[in-house]
Chains A and B, each alone.
Chain A
């Protein structure tokens, strides 16, 4: 008996990605590629729709790429944040997620208003491998004065990580021993969270359908909302 599980379009897109088989390269410059345009529509104009608060963004103890302990909420406070959970040994949907986040990063960095108001944050759920040193390598790839900040975060271990995952409703399952090649340890369905400057989750995206144009429209919608109006329904 065989049961196959595919998480929406993500697995299909990943399959397409892997089928291309580009040579490994640490020098890849992934942020400048053209968007895939699988979405045949014009995104709604920023400010023409509402993003009702979904819930307070969960807090927790994290480590930045310099190894400094931080409170996640402190890092989110005052700026709009696109937050995703990934891990670098992932052979499932994380590479797709990172590709899409690089697109978003490039597009947002081209907007002076968003350069100040927006940040990206990726939090690893594989702290055993994704140490601050590993995170620092990724952070170095995207750092730049003219770029939107991108925080590469990890945790000190499962005790700190699990409450954060629970708080965001980000399920993952450890693969049984021996499954998952080369450290590909977790099965997961990735969600990406848009958190406003007051620490409220305002949208949740599925990686399988993450259109960075919609994320940008949402960020600009939050920027356009006057103080206090964010919570209106």
Chain B
């Protein structure tokens, strides 16, 4: 038995390719480095038809079992159960189910609760149509040194990055980023910078210590974080909070650019109005990210300018800001040309042509429901999914409190409805985060 010739050949070919890339810079390494849009670039990616949509769902007292649960919906168009719930896995109790994400190998789905700070880890690889709860992390606050409200779960190589929303001292917005191994072992906490700790950091006077999203652009070795509000606000009734002037002052107004490898803040941007979801562009040379501000209803661009400096620029209104439409989620197409933005209060999605990221142009607007929150798009751009719930305390009341997963086809001009799962009629709860699954990820 000898060394495999093709293996050595491909090493050699790799070296040739690298040499060419260094000299000519013509190797097509650009393809998109993200998941079915806007996921960690370190993750395996589905570029074709997703088979399942996993929906992290808040329990509602008196509705079904009342528990938070992971709901699995069949997204295979040729399946007899297409558009139907094929699995529901309660985690026991209500934890303010919110966000989460896959590990880098996409074998496990981490789902977090903002209220109890518990993290639920599901095995999605053994049987993708039937996820199984395999681990619960219930000492997140203690292990992290006081971070409360685990929010995003972002895949890094062999580990997870959990962005917090609050802290255990005052339940305010000061928080941090927490790293765990994929196996659920705590590694480290990185507190968000404040004006007191920022030192001579550029823009350090705007550092408020708040957190929300955290996303990495590997080719620039930068991570961008955004800022929302603390537990004292997000667990308060929305109407009551709006009447509380002091509470309304306790929202994030910063974004932080980090040296990702060193986990060190590099620069702070003043982005008032609670910048939430971050969406890095995908293509090489597209060194920019979009975010939307919930309270001021603006679209912001964080970008590297021609001199290599990073800037934050307000680039568009989202709807009529005076009506506080509350933009809550956005997704950028894999070609970086189309941005979908959901606004909770009016239940609409607005679609922008962002081929010139500095000059977004709205090209479509469509009513999705009486309220709408998350939006997820397939990598090929052909399918778009929406869910309705924001938080248990902030969702609308009465008839306006529609709870759904809705699936649409996108043809570049309009959304065509494919199916709806009524989460109230099916006694499931309030659907929030969506993630895509496919059995072929694990069948080699």
Stretch at the interface among B21-29, B342-350, B368-376, B398-406: B21-29
User: How far, in whole Å, are A7 and B42 apart by their CA atoms in the complex?
Assistant: 7
* Contact assessment for A98 and B11 in the assembled complex, using a CB-CB cutoff below 8 Å: yes
User: How far, in whole Å, are A96 and B183 apart by their CA atoms in the complex?
Assistant: 26
Of the candidates B9, B27, B219, the one whose C-beta lies within 8 Å of that of A23 is B9
Segment 165-181 of A: residues with Cβ below 8 Å from B:
169, 171, 173-176, 179-180
Tell yes or no: A13 within 8 A of B by CB.
yes
* Contact assessment for B261 and A43 in the assembled complex, using a CB-CB cutoff below 8 Å: yes
User: How far, in whole Å, are A5 and B181 apart by their CA atoms in the complex?
Assistant: 23
Please name all residues of chain B whose beta carbon is closer than 8 Å to the beta carbon of A98 when the two chains form the complex: 7, 11, 14
Given contacts A54-B187, A191-B157, whether A49 and B263 have CB atoms under 8 Å apart is yes
- The 0/1 profile, CB within 8 Å of B marked 1, for residues 77-113 of chain A is 0000000000011110011101100110000000000
* Contact assessment for B8 and A25 in the assembled complex, using a CB-CB cutoff below 8 Å: yes
Segment 30-59 of A: residues with Cβ below 8 Å from B:
30, 33-41, 43-44, 48-50, 52-55
Please name all residues of chain B whose beta carbon is closer than 8 Å to the beta carbon of A95 when the two chains form the complex: 7, 10-11, 13-14
Stretch at the interface among A66-74, A130-138, A155-163: A130-138
Please name all residues of chain A whose beta carbon is closer than 8 Å to the beta carbon of B10 when the two chains form the complex: 17-18, 91, 95
Tell yes or no: B309 within 8 A of A by CB.
no
Please name all residues of chain A whose beta carbon is closer than 8 Å to the beta carbon of B49 when the two chains form the complex: 1-3
Q: Which residue of the partner chain B has the closest CB to A129?
A: B1
Tell yes or no: B312 within 8 A of A by CB.
no
Q: Which residue of the partner chain A has the closest CB to B436?
A: A3
Tell yes or no: B47 within 8 A of A by CB.
yes
* Contact assessment for B45 and A18 in the assembled complex, using a CB-CB cutoff below 8 Å: no
Of the candidates B16, B17, B76, B220, the one whose C-beta lies within 8 Å of that of A41 is B220
Of the candidates A52, A94, A205, the one whose C-beta lies within 8 Å of that of B7 is A94
A-B contact count (CB 8 A): 238
Tell yes or no: A226 within 8 A of B by CB.
no
- The 0/1 profile, CB within 8 Å of B marked 1, for residues 166-210 of chain A is 000101011110011011001101010100000000001110110
Please name all residues of chain B whose beta carbon is closer than 8 Å to the beta carbon of A8 when the two chains form the complex: 33, 41-45
Of the candidates A48, A133, A169, the one whose C-beta lies within 8 Å of that of B182 is A169
Given contacts A18-B13, A25-B8, whether A4 and B444 have CB atoms under 8 Å apart is no
Please name all residues of chain B whose beta carbon is closer than 8 Å to the beta carbon of A187 when the two chains form the complex: 444
* Contact assessment for B6 and A22 in the assembled complex, using a CB-CB cutoff below 8 Å: no
Q: Which residue of the partner chain A has the closest CB to B218?
A: A209
Tell yes or no: B68 within 8 A of A by CB.
no
Tell yes or no: B315 within 8 A of A by CB.
no
User: How far, in whole Å, are A18 and B220 apart by their CA atoms in the complex?
Assistant: 25
* Contact assessment for B14 and A134 in the assembled complex, using a CB-CB cutoff below 8 Å: no
* Contact assessment for B78 and A88 in the assembled complex, using a CB-CB cutoff below 8 Å: no
* Contact assessment for A209 and B7 in the assembled complex, using a CB-CB cutoff below 8 Å: no
List 20 contacting pairs A-B, 8 Å CB cutoff, sorted by A. Answer: A3-B48, A3-B50, A8-B33, A8-B42, A8-B45, A12-B28, A17-B14, A30-B15, A35-B18, A38-B21, A40-B219, A43-B261, A52-B187, A54-B185, A55-B183, A96-B14, A137-B3, A173-B444, A176-B444, A189-B104
List residues of A whose CB falls within 8 A of some B CB.
Answer: 1-9, 12-13, 15-26, 28, 30, 33-41, 43-44, 48-50, 52-55, 88-91, 94-96, 98-99, 102-103, 129, 131, 133-134, 137-138, 169, 171, 173-176, 179-180, 182-183, 186-187, 189, 191, 193, 204-206, 208-209, 214, 217, 233
Given A22-B17, A233-B189, 8 further pairs, Cβ under 8 A: A2-B49, A12-B29, A17-B13, A21-B13, A33-B15, A95-B14, A171-B107, A233-B188
List residues of B whose CB falls within 8 A of some A CB.
Answer: 1-23, 27-31, 33, 41-51, 76-78, 104-105, 107, 156-159, 179, 181-183, 185, 187-189, 218-222, 259, 261-264, 284, 287, 438, 440-444
